[in-house]
Structure 1
Amino acid sequence: MSDSTTKLSAVIVDDEPLARRGLRLRLEKLRDVDIVAECTNGREARERILELQPDVAFIDIQMPGISGLELVRDLPPEQLPQIVFVTAYDQYAVEAFEINAVDYVLKPIEEERLAAALERVREKRASADIANQREQLLEAVAGLTNESPLELEQRLAAGDLGGSQYPEKIAIKDAGKITLVPAREIDWIDAAGDYMCVHAQGETHVMRITMKELEQQLDPKSFQRIHRSTIVNLERVREICAHINGEYYLVLNNGERLKMSRSYKNKVQHFL
């Protein structure tokens, strides 16, 4: 591992190619990080981390298969690198990570926040016992879920905390502030170029994120894509109207009409 005067060796773990590329480009700009591996899933990441023993691992929390939390649990404590979670959790998670000295970077990633995370990594490496990182991570997540670390440990061992966890609130950052929108209050979401418009309770919140990244934060039991640029809350749909060209229109409780394209018409079953 590197010392405080050399580059930090880093592993990026994210199942999304665009997310990995974006993080890599930002880390390369900072010039004091050597990216030794990029991994697409938890199983691959475990092997590479044990092989390369990096100083820091940037880990997406929500991944199919082995989640970021499960990955950290599975790593031997004595070989656990510094962990920086890449997450879209709300302010309660942010507070938990801050208090427990386990850092995070919110998507979409900002360079200043990333630089601050790396500075904290260096500070912790100079003073912290790396073998205790796992316990700190459990305490951080326990603070988020209102469970004891022991209860969380038991749930992780039982496989109850996987990639199916969805935040109750969506964190929308704009003009230096973060607005927390409860997912259950969202009516629908549509794309406007590189931005997503989140419509909830008569208000429209704009966030810079890809449709796919935002879709991964939403429980598919409640939210479904009905168009390449539209996601709808199933509980808000009042009527389904067939159109002569094979498309459908969905009428929401607030009277809004949304087009369901032909390529998504198989989603009608979710409304029935």
Structure 2
Amino acid sequence: MPDDRKPARTPAEPPAPSPTHAPPIRTLIVDDEPLARRGLVLRLAAHPDIEIVGECGDGASAIAQVHRLQPELMFLDVQMPGADGFTTLGQIPANEMPMVVFVTAYDHYAIQAFEASAVDYLLKPVDEQRLAQSLERVRQNRESRAALGHCSQLLGLLGELSGRAPLELDEALQPDALEQLQSDDRLSVRDSGRVVRVPLHSIRWIDAAGDYMCIHTDDDTLVLRATMRELERQLDPRRFPRIHRSTIVNARRVTETRPHNNGESYLRLDCGQELKLSRSYRDRLPLLQ
């Protein structure tokens, strides 16, 4: 008899997870010829990771659009009335500068294009294969810029902690980098958009007053909007131990101690000021160890 049983069905394998894609590359096209812009738009449509966010036909408009749209990539015509491509680039702030691919009808601009740190240059009429090669350079450059950007942010942060210029990579990689920052001879505090740098030797003590920190120095008392944690992060705890929930002292300015109630003490500084040493912070002051 014929076997009417249906063959066992093999369980379907779960679909492979779709790869995560980087966000599209926001692109601005700058060319004074509308037909040239249209041709480039059509060719770029074959590349789904390219998102055209704007078009313009002169250098002044390009500068304004870069500021407004913040594109990652700009196809920039070299020959335009008024400001040409190179002049246009010179007027874009460095922190807004996108990746640039020059588009030109003359190959003698190539060297000048690369001297302007362009990712690539294209000759008109734009060839699709050459465009694909250029976009691959853009993608590689994007990855490099992202990695470099993260690194620069970290180095800038380390530099801010010391009040110095952003550190170089080899300087930040030194094993004692953090110790070097803490041993800097000045305390740097951001306050309302400014950076105040206070010589460490002049500091007598620091205490909190609500949302503000009072830095008492030989010459003045600075009242800055900061936190105890921000200041502690910069200061060497051996030189500037915390002696109370709201007080840091310059240990070198302590001249004597006297006991108080419940294991607390009072510290006298060389200026005559007395500060309370809390029992819970007693072990932080080397003088009393």
Shorter-normalised TM range: 0.3 to 0.5
Structure (1 or 2) with the larger CA radius of gyration: 2
* TM-score normalised by length of structure 2: 0.43
Higher RCO (Cα < 8 Å, 6 or more apart): 1
